[in-house]
Structure 1
Amino acid sequence: MTGAPTSRDSTTPVGKPLLGSSCISRSILILLPLTLLLPWVTASTLNCHKTCICASNIVSCSKMNLTKIPTSLPIYTAVLDASYNAITRLHAEWTTVELTKLHNLLLSHNGMYFISTEAFLYVTHVRYLDLSSNSLRQLDESMFEPLARLEVLLLYKNRISQIDRTAFSGLSKLQKLYLSQNQVSRFPLELVKEKTRLERLSLLDVSSNKVKILPIQELKALPAWIKNGLYFHDNPFACDCNLYNMLAHWHIRRFSSAIDFKDDYTCILPGPQKTMVAVFDLNRDYMNCSTVKAEDQETHLEQKLILNCDTRHRDMNKTWTIPGNVLVTPGSNHSAKVLSDGRLEIVSVQPEDSGIYTCFAMSAVLNETLYVTVKVHNFTLNGSNETLNTAYTTLVGCLASVILVLIYLYLTPCRCPGHSKAKSQQEDSIHSSVLSATPSHEDLGTKAGLSRHVAFIDPKDLQGQNGKLNPDAEEDLEYQERDSRRGRGQRKKSDAESISSVCSDTPIVV
């Protein structure tokens, strides 16, 4: 009798589970932890024995003839060296996991000419980036923005000719930037200028480029701690005394940028020959630029004076001494006080404030001493203006008086009697234009009928010693006697005030 098999006829024993289901369950339990550990497994599959050399958290893939950076880098990698390879392009997906411990990335000597703007999204903790000795031609907008912790950036010995003004935006902790040995033709002033500069940048190297013009006035206004690390030697500058003066001041202040590369600062003399000379020789052999000395500070009475302790390093402890080597301390009775930023303030300057002020700056790496010589003019600023106005007014008045005297002497027409006859008597002596005090017989006969006589008297005949009237003038007495014999009455002697100048328009009436 056939029929459907009963439960006993089943091949599966009663009360025992299926073999396949138990295997599946065990497989799931084993695979589940593996899936949770999958990122670790994929990030640690780098073969450190064949591709790179691993030493603790350092992965060195240098000189391995690589065309791309190996993927599956260990997540604990702190230093990655992929220099001296053939990695020409750095794509955004060069790493698929975030390397939070990576702080040094070395990619030099690869012939790299392209870097994606998203190449650094997974390595935001990098502090040292070496891209030197490659073939980069331009730095695009916000290229390094993800690297907010970057402190040192090496870009020297590339072919960079274009730098976007925002290429380094976001690098608030960048301290050193090396751009030497490129083809940069514009000095990146925005990196060091007030309000736009990188806050922590203390070294900028743009040496050995194609910069022809420097913003000298803007560079002079920079703090000393920036000037100390500003390198721009070996550029085709035009020779100029302003350039010499700036570098000479930096040399006096012992800035590293002027001391270490003094012989490498060159410029091109004007002219068709394009002769290249040393900038520090412009004061002697070439352009006769004036010798630079340390600058003094001048002020006036009752002015507010602030002295800056402009040190070569940032964040230094500063103390001051005033003339007489007196230390300025908080709460002292001196008019000077040290401000919170290290500057010295004198509220109302007095004559005794003239002299040498000394700033002592100290830090863990440098001790620096600065001297500032102050000269106080012995007048207030407003008083000097009034004095200048008074002197100017006096000078104008004197000039006007001289002009009037010259006009009176040389431009006043001469209306002396007999002036019409003077043309025919130019060969006479220089006194021929002056009428003699003794009239001739012809004149007496002509003027006999006149009741009043006009006589022109030579002042020489009336003056004695020291310009006074000579009371013993013989000619005057004879003339008076002659008039008395003719019945005309005795002629009175004229006073000194009644004598007019020679050729005066008003004759002397006697």
Structure 2
Amino acid sequence: MAGPRAVWLWLCLSVPGAPGAVRPAPPCPAACLCASDILSCSKRELLTAPAHLPRYAALLDLSHNNLSRLRADWTGQRLARLHTLLLGHNRLAFISGEAFAPVPGLRHLDLSSNRLRALDELLFSQLPRLEVLLLYDNHIAEVDRSAFDGAAGLRRLYLSRNQISRFPLELIRDGAKPPELSLLDLSANHLKSLPLAELGLLPAWLRNGLYLHGNPLVCDCELYRLFRHWELRELSSVVDFREDLACSLPAPPAKRTVGVLGLGGPDLLNCSDFKECAVEAYLGDTLVIGCDARQRGAAREWVTPARERVPGQAANGTAAVLADGSLRIQPVRAEDRGTYTCHAVGEAFNETLYVEVTVYNFTQHRPHDTLNTAYTTLVGCILSVVLVLIYLYLTPCRCWCRGGDGPASHRGDSLSSSMLSTTPNHDPGDGDGKDGGAFDRRVAFLEPAGLGPGQNGKLKPGGALPGPEGLEGRRKLSDPDSVSSVFSDTPIVV
């Protein structure tokens, strides 16, 4: 009874396609060397990829061959385990938009030293796990704005030694770039200008891996301040390639290539230096200070000018560390001024950043408050000018009074006179009108007398001012519509 059972079991395990049958592993391609899940097919002068690659392949090396095209069916079957594909040093000039569909698990892709001229739309969109992409030493001149859409895991992108003349701004913009991108190598291309404003807003961990040396940049002071800032922060993209970071002076007669970091010298553009970590605030404001570390995900700790850790040991109670590592001071007080220190602790190295905070001893005006203040000041100035002009040019007369020890009756006559005449007042007893004494200037407020009923507060035409008894030469009042009556309540100089 045991014999037939043993024969039946042997047949089930040996017949292809039978339930429970053991499938033999496909043989290693003749043009490759296989070591477990590694297939090395390098330097075999292959024109196409080997057919029927084994499914267990995790690393496939096809570099240093003569491959010129990569079609959608180049693998022969789906290679779900493949995480590394090396295609460098071939003659690739065409890559199908579906070429990477059979290898969705790729994390490392090497396409360097080929003949690619453009990166078409959605070329790498089927590689969501891709982390490292090597595209250096090609002939790439055009990069479609959607070429890297879908490659959400991309961390390191090498595009150096190509012919790119437009900075791929879509790779660094928030919401458009691969969120994990930390290295972008654009060195040795044809870039003449850079989006300086956008680059200045990048976090330090991305600027640390943004390589721009070896491009024919045009010199200006904004470019100098950008890279000078990066040098002060000791970013690798500038510190490691300081000598290769050059630009061309636009001044005639001949363009001259100089180092970008030397543009601050007096013999070149004499650009002003960059001042980092200076923050200004007003009393009552809410101030948020970022700790821009070179390492992404570094732990941050803040210390106040009083050497107190935030939070926990801060005595003022207005400072707090936010979830992203920024320091918030709310509300800002006068005692919050000083130098704040941020300690960033990362896996590779530690950093220390200093931020100088200046607090002004007044609150900042709102826009409408500033407008109202300016308007009030302008109206006040205009009114002052008008009053000065009235005093200088619309005063009806200038009366000269004789100084000295004259009779009291004469002095009273001088002060009580409301006649605004262009003829200077003389002492009645002085026949020739000359007086060797000093002149005396007096200010008097006129109070017209002789107002009768029905005159509406005006002096009677032809009326006379009351004066001391026996005073000769009583002065006549002017017409009520004259200038003297209009300004009867105005102080004048007599």
Asked if TM exceeds 0.5, the reply is yes
Match for 2:32 among 26, 42, 52? 52
Structure 2 residues without counterparts, runs of 5 or longer? 1-9, 399-420, 445-482, 485-491
**Contact residue 13 and residue 20 of structure 2 kept, 8 A:** no
Structure 2 residue aligned with 1:32: 16
In the alignment, what sits opposite 1:343?
326
- State the distance in 2 between where 1:78 and 1:163 align: 29
Question: Does the 8 Å contact 2:71/2:95 carry over to 1?
Answer: yes
* Amino acid in structure 2 at the alignment position of 1:341: D
- Separation of aligned partners in 1, 2:345 and 2:336: 25
Residue equivalent to 1:327: 309
| 2:75 is aligned with 1:95 | yes
Q: Does 1:240 align with 2:232?
A: no
Distance 1:185 1:387 in 2: 47
Answer yes or no: is the 8 Å Cα contact 1:337–1:345 preserved in 2: yes
CA distance in 2, matches of 1:495, 1:112: 104
What is the identity, as a one-letter code, of the residue corresponding to 1:373?
A: E
- Aligned mates of 2:323, 2:43 — CA distance in 1: 53
- Correspondence for 1:254: 234
Relative to structure 1, is the Cα distance of residues 45 and 245 closer, same or farther in structure 2, using a 3 angstrom cutoff?
Answer: closer
Moved >4 Å (runs of 4+): 26-31, 33-41, 330-333, 383-409, 454-458, 479-484
Deviation at 1:386, TM superposition (A): 5.1
Q: Structure 1 residues 390, 211: CA separation in 2 closer, same or farther (over 3 Å shift)? A: same
2:258 corresponding residue in structure 1? 277
Partner letter of residue 119 of structure 1?
A
Aligned to 2:362: 379
Contact 2:13 2:21 in 1 (8 A): no
AA matched with 1:144: F
- Whether the 8 Å CA contact 2:83–2:105 is kept in 1: the answer is yes
CA change 1:403–1:289 in 2 (3 A) is farther
Q: Name the CA distance, whole Å, in 2 between partners of 1:337 and 1:455.
A: 77
Are residue 496 (structure 1) and residue 442 (structure 2) matched?
A: yes
Whether the 8 Å contact between 2:12 and 2:21 is mirrored in structure 1 is no
2:283 is aligned to 301
Q: What does residue 487 of structure 2 align with?
A: none
Shift of 1:401: 4.8
Residue of structure 1 equivalent to 2:148: 168
Q: Which one-letter code corresponds to 1:376 in the other structure?
A: V
RMSD: 3.8
Instruction: State yes or no: 1:147 paired with 2:127.
Output: yes
Match among 112, 115, 121 for residue 132 of structure 1 = 112
Alignment match, 1:73: 53
Name the counterpart of 1:17: none
Q: Classify 1:40/1:406 alpha carbon distance in 2 versus 1 (closer, same or farther; 3 Å).
A: farther
Q: 3-state DSSP class of the match of 2:85?
A: strand
- Identity of matched residues, %: 47
CA distance in 2, matches of 1:392, 1:373: 35
Q: Which residue of 1 aligns with 2:294?
A: 312
Cα distance in structure 1, aligned partners of 2:386 and 2:148: 68
Query: How many equivalent pairs are there?
Result: 417
Greater helix percent: which structure? Answer: 1
Cα distance in 2 for partners of 1:456, 1:90 equals: 112
CA change 1:252–1:30 in 2 (3 A) is: closer
CA distance, structure 1, for counterparts of residue 368 and residue 348 of structure 2: 48
How far the C-alpha of 1:311 sits from its partner, in A, is: 0.9
**1:223/1:31 CA distance change after superposition, 3 Å:** same
Query: What does residue 422 of structure 1 align with?
Result: none
The answer on whether the counterparts of 2:12 and 2:18 sit within 8 Å (CA) in structure 1 is no
| Residues 1:40 and 1:300: Cα distance change in structure 2 (over 3 Å) | farther
